[in-house]
Amino acid sequence: MAAVLGTSMVTLVGVSVFIAALTYITYKLIGGYLNKWFMLKSVPELEGTYPLIGNALQLKTSSGDFFRQIEEITRMFYDAPLFKLWIGPVPFLILFHAETVETLLNNSIHMDKAYAYNFLHPWLGTGLLTSTGAKWRQRRKMLTPTFHFSILTDFMEVMNEQADVLLEKLEKKAGKGKFNCFSDVTLCALDIICETAMGKKINAQNDTESTYVESVYKMSDIVSRRQRKPWFWPDALYKIFGDGRAHDKNLKVLHEFTYSVIRERAAELSSQESDADQGKKKRQAFLDMLLKTTDENGNKMSHQDIQEEVDTFMFEGHDTTAAAMNWALHLIGSHPEVHSKVNEELQEVFGSSDRHANTEDLKKLKYLDCVIKEALRLFPSVPFFARSICEDCHIKGFKIPKGANAIIVTYALHRDPRYYPEPEEFRPDRFLPDNCVGRPPYAYIPFSAGLRNCIGQRFAQMEEKVVLSSILRKFNVEACQKREELQPIGELILRPEKGIWIKLERKATS
């Protein structure tokens, strides 16, 4: 009898402790939610915002419709310095004016990525894109030397070689009517990043059924859908009712690819170091530098650390640049007067030569540089990104609580008529030096800004100039879509819904 009573008492105590813990957790969660709700009450919001679920049911489910919805809402709230959306119990402050964006990005306190980036962790780990705090600072310090200009210059050979492969493919399509160039340019960018980041030729341009590219696109779509649906944020619900299986299947493809390359490259480097008769110097890749990089204590990065950064380079280093080059081709092909100016500049720099571009050539391509910048203004590769508010602060007179998230909508920021009159017009002259005077630096941030700006922006700009100049030296481009037919899709990267359709005509050779 005593034993039974003892067991009952233990069970009762256990249940009481469980209920108390559950009550405390619920109290903390509800308390935190209510605190944010009341602090943010004065911030403008959409009609129909409900407690706990917020605006989640109002948000469109398809990526294209969702992006157009955000675009429309930013226009609706243009006269407000910011507005808020609640996605479930999580508040998001939407920023798209230079002065509010600067308040956030120029502050070293608010450097953590927002909660929504957690859904990238299975893919990218906590590499440079997603890490926070001390790990981000240490990793950024370690990786910055690998993006030194002298090292980037060595990569130009790869960019030129892969541009040649692209030209061979485009040659077969020139003069034969319209075609979708999106995949061609993307596979070129993938070949470039594979060889420069990992030292591996994968010949993606000659393998149109690239499972890696397909998995990158699928994973981007899967992650962006999950970010918009708070009921799928818990892992258990996501695996049972959401895209958990598709997520894991694509993740396996992505990780197996980069893991195998890292393992092969580490073995190659080891054999090279032990072979005293190595005559020919092999090209260095980012991966080689990562395998040799040490921190201030002399510790090397682990293979898991390296995989995080390689996966990040592979994602950010090909998809963003490919999208930028495709948008630029459409815009050049839509504006004959711009195309003509680019042709004149290319003629001045290269004449009738078919030699590869070098760093001195790129410095002289000032108008093409303006074209690329204006294309990135209209179609920034990353249409929005988010940060976490790490301590209570004020933005334009509104008190913002710690734990809220801020979304910077680059796409809307770049259309501010105060700094870009007739913002939908494609005008590369906006970026001539004299025309930039007085424009706030945070009114144009295609590579983010502040301490967490994109570490690879010089690499991207170099690649875009090399590839675009190679195409435009050989072909005249004509766009086959009107702007309204492009239908941008804002997932992790800004893409056109139905690709970029162009016609190419060979230039007359002298």
Pairing of strands 488-490, 494-496: antiparallel
What is the largest distance, in Å, between two alpha-carbon atoms of the chain?
106
Cβ atoms within 10 Å, residue 443:
19
> Tell me: the pLDDT tens digits for 92-142?
899 999 999 999 898 888 878 887 888 989 998 888 888 888 888 888 888
402, 93 in Cβ contact below 8 A?
Answer: no
Pairing of strands 179-180, 385-388: unpaired
> Tell me: the pLDDT tens digits for 44-75?
888 877 777 888 888 887 888 888 999 999 99
d(CA 129, CA 124): 8
* Cβ partners under 8 Å of residue 323, min gap 6: 379, 381, 493, 494, 495
Domains, the chain: 28-506 (1.10.630.10)
Handedness of CA 61, 185, 291, 201 (dihedral sign): positive
pTM above 0.85, yes or no: yes
Model confidence at 282, pLDDT cuts 50, 70, 90, reads: low
- Please name the residue that has the structure tokens 């970026």: 431
d(CA 363, CA 348): 13
> Tell me: the pLDDT tens digits for 182-217?
999 999 998 999 888 888 888 889 876 778 878 887
* Cβ partners under 8 Å of residue 237, min gap 6: 231
> Tell me: the pLDDT tens digits for 28-47?
457 577 888 788 888 888 88
449-485: buried (b, 16+ CB within 10 Å) or exposed (e) per residue?
Answer: bbebebbbeebbbbbbbbbbbbbbbbbbbbbbbeeee
Give the gyration radius of the chain's Cα atoms: 25
Computed over every residue of the chain, the mean pLDDT equals: 86
